[in-house]
Each structure stands twice: as C-alpha cells, then as structure tokens.
Structure 1
Amino acid sequence: MELARSWSIEQTDCIKAMAAMDADSVDLTLTDPPYEEVMHAAKSVPAARRLRVDSGPELKPLDFGAIGPIRLETAREIVRITRGWALVFCTPEGIAAWRDAFELAGAKYKRACFWIKPDSAPQMNGQGPAFAVEPFVAVWCGSGYSRWNGGGRRNWWKCPTNGPWRDGRHPTEKPSALMADLCLHFSNRGSLVFDPFAGSGSTGVGALKSRRCFVGHEIDPQWVAVAHERLAATDASLHASPMLDFGSVAHG
C-alpha cells in the first residue's frame, strides 16, 4: 500500500499566511488556537503564587496572547480557504464568540462538540470543580449540505490526555489520537488537513496517522522545530509499517 509523504510545517504568522492561500484549498481546518481572555487571566499568575497544594510542579505559564484581537480575521480566512469542516477548540466562554465570528464570515455553525478527558487533573487548589471537558465548535464552510463520516453519533469524544501518544513539551498539547479520530470523522482519506495554530504538531501527527495530508502554520520557532521532529518521526514510522492502522480511541 503506497502512502503519500505530503506534509509541511512552516514558521509564519497565520493571518498573513492564510491570506496568501487559495480559496477552497483545504478540506478540513482542525486547530487549537489561543485561549479566550478569561482563561489567560486565570493562568497568568505571578510566579510566586502557587496554585497547587500537593507540592507538585506548577503548570508552565502561557507564552502566547489571547485569541480575541484576531478572532474575526482568523474566522474569515478559515472560511475562505476551507471547502469542508472547520473544527476550532476553545473554552466554554468562547463558543458563542466563535459561532458569531464564523457566521459573520458566511459559514454555517452546526454545534458545539466536546472532548471528554477521563484523566483530567483535579482542581489543585480545591476552590471549585475542575475542567473535565473541552469544547470545540464544528462549522461547515463548504457549499450545500454538510457531510461527514460520523452518521448519527453524538457530539462528544472521550480520549485520555496522557496516553502513549503524548509528547509533553507543549503546555496545551492535544492528544494526537483525538485529532486522528476527528480527521476520520470530518474528512476523507487523502484529504488536506490544515492547522493555522499548529503548536507542537499534534494535529499533523493525527492527520498523517489517519492517512490524510497536512499543512501547519506556527509562529513560534521553538514549536515549529518540535512539530517538524514529531511529523518526520510519524512519517518514517508509517512508511516503515505501511499496513499499520492508528485506530479509533476516542469514543462518543
């Protein structure tokens, strides 16, 4: 079985790079952009203030800005270049904002979906319930009726955060197994999957393992290097074992 070696990761500003892309050139946009302002405020705490009470390591501070200032431009460009689905992870507070932005750009907002994290961290300071789910909005950017491979399945995917697929270097890494499952449901074999906020490359790893092609943009050279390393390793392993199937581990 022949496998395509079609993937790339580029260090670039995503807005400028998307503006240079052809219309309707992407089958699926699957991305985890920066958080909403409210989440950045919660995570941007002084270094001297400890959030954990179990003496464990503190979470790494976020080294990127909130999505608000570029949300409308991002939505507009995603809709212009995508001929199928756009799946955008966000906080619960960001669902309505992304819905409004995509509808202003002319896309068809379908609904909010949810990633369920069975091994999510507890609320370390004990002051309230912890997050055990993370939303993403599902938007149809194509013409006509929306189409997918999920039949009548429900709008949640259950996938551990800490599985054998975890790289662990990026502070907001998504499971590549989850991203592969989303590729399987929202695109077809050989499709082009695009991530304008590629981070450490989990979307790309999931795309390759689900036999899709991948293009990623990331502005931080540190994460571009990590993503390139992970994508190259995934590509090499798939060509070494071409009959290997990644399988579906996220259930809904």
Structure 2
Amino acid sequence: MGDTHRQAAELTGVTAMFPSNEILHGDCTRVLKQLPDAFVDLIVTDPPYGVRYQDRLGRTVANDDDPNRILGAFTDLYRVLKPNSVCISFYGWGLVDDFFRAWRRAGFKPVGHIVWVKDYASRERFLRYRHESAYLLAKGQPSLPSRPLDDIQTWLYSGNTDHPTQKAVRILTPLIETFSQSGQLVLDPFAGSGSTLVAAQITGRRYLGIELDQKYCALMRERLAFVST
C-alpha cells in the first residue's frame, strides 16, 4: 500500500485500499485526495450551493457561504470516478456559472438535466420556487441506460427532520438504479443525513459517504444500521 493510501486508512480506520460501506468524517476536499483513482461507479451528491441557506428553524449548512470552498472537490471526484461513469449533482441555480466552470474544469461533460416538481413553493421572490434540479455529468462515454428516466420527476418532501436540506430516499433510488448496477459503489462526498447512502443500501449497492459534521456522521450510522436490520 502506498503512502497516500496508508494515510487514508489511518485517517478513516479503513483497512482496505478501496473503502466501501464506510462513512468518512472530514472535509471532502481533503479526504478525496487520499482516495485512489477510478474506484467509484457512481456519484450522487447535493453540495452546498453557496447561498448561506438557513431554514425556518435557523439551521444552516456548513461551507455554504462561499462556493469556492467546495467546488474544487469536483476535480478529485472526476479522478476517483471510473471511466465511462456518471456523477449526478444537485446545484444552486443562482450560481450555475460557478458550478459549470468547476464541472468542466474537472473534465465532466453535462449529458442531462433533471427537474423535480414540487406541489408547494419553498420560497417566493420574483417567482414562486417550486422545483429542485440536478445535472447528469459524464466522465468519458457512459453506456446508455436500458430504461432512461424522464427528465421531469415528482418531488417527495423529506420533512427535513434530520438535516436542513435533506433529500427523500425515494427520489434518489431511481437515480441509483438507473445509473449503477447491483454491488457497485456509490459515493456521496457531501453526505449530510445520508439519504444517498440509505438509497444505495436499499438498492443493493455499496456506499461511501464523506461528511464534515460529526453529528451527521453519527446520524448516518444510525440510519444505515436501521436499514440493515
């Protein structure tokens, strides 16, 4: 095992060079640099949008004040992703130029856009905000899915009980089932409350999550233990 991989194992308690079914505590912009090349089959993530979000309970999201703090992670996300695979990333529409620059700089090519339609408005300003969206980003030339998803989906509200921007597991499972195979490894570098990891486990995939906040790491382990029983 090389020095980089040995350091990753010491940092996370992972003994294998290719960790899976693990939650790694730390800043993903640093943790990712200690992970090997081309070992992840699918990335599904909801990074901070750089909008200083605060929910009705006053909860905030770490590193949400400056997109430059997190967008550099996509360079390493491209590196750890296997060739001819995809990354699905939610994003903040107000900073879409920043996200696109980071994605293209990393090497990703946008190949699709998914919009989830809400039956309620999460906010009102010039418009009533009734959608969430994500880009489908390709590394290389991924195979086309046998049953492509519609690019318009119905939003399911999670209740945000565990995290201020928590995604419902049921909106993530179709993404994982469409763009990965059973037993493959799904990575979420901004894992939050762990919905991506739960969706991966439910669908028979392996998972790897990275999360900056220790309390959410503990929460994810509780959620995943419940799923596995």
Q: Which residue pairs with 2:105 in the alignment?
A: 104
Q: Is 2:157 the partner of 1:157? A: no
What residue is the counterpart of 1:26 in the other structure? 40
Partner of 1:188: 181
The normalised TM-score by structure 1 is 0.74
State the Cα RMSD in Å: 2.2
Provide the residue aligned with 1:245 in structure 2: none
Query: How many angstroms does 1:13 deviate by?
Result: 1.5
- What secondary structure does 1:170 align onto? coil
Name the residue aligned to 1:205. 198
Q: For residue 246 of structure 1, what is the aligned residue in structure 2? A: none
Tell me the CA shift for residue 94 of structure 1: 3.3
Distance 1:226 1:176, change over 3 A: same
Q: Please, which runs of 5 or more residues in structure 1 have no aligned partner?
A: 1-5, 45-56, 237-252
- Answering whether residue 218 of structure 2 is matched by residue 217 of structure 1, we say no
SS of match in other structure, 2:24? strand
Deviation at residue 173 of structure 1 after TM alignment: 0.2
1:29 aligns to what SS in structure 2? strand
Please say which of residues 129-138 and 205-214 is displaced more in the overlay: 129-138
Q: How big is each residue's C-alpha offset from its partner over 1:139-191, in whole Å with a ceiling of 9 and x where there is no partner?
A: 112x3x222436454322213114xxx67121110011111111011111111
Kindly state the Cα deviation for residue 33 of structure 1 after the two structures are TM-superposed: 0.7
Mapping for residues 1-252 of structure 1, pairs under 5 Å: 7-36=21-50, 39-40=51-52, 43=53, 58-66=56-64, 68-83=67-82, 84-118=85-119, 120-121=120-121, 123=123, 128-141=126-139, 143=140, 145-149=141-145, 151-162=147-158, 168-236=161-229
Letter in 1 for 2:171: L
Report the residue type matching 2:58 in the other structure: K
Give the conservation status (yes or no) of the 8 Å contact 1:99–1:137.
Answer: no
Classify 1:96/1:122 alpha carbon distance in 2 versus 1 (closer, same or farther; 3 Å).
Answer: closer
Number of equivalenced pairs: 207
| Structure with the greater alpha carbon radius of gyration | 1
Secondary structure in 1 matching 2:209: strand
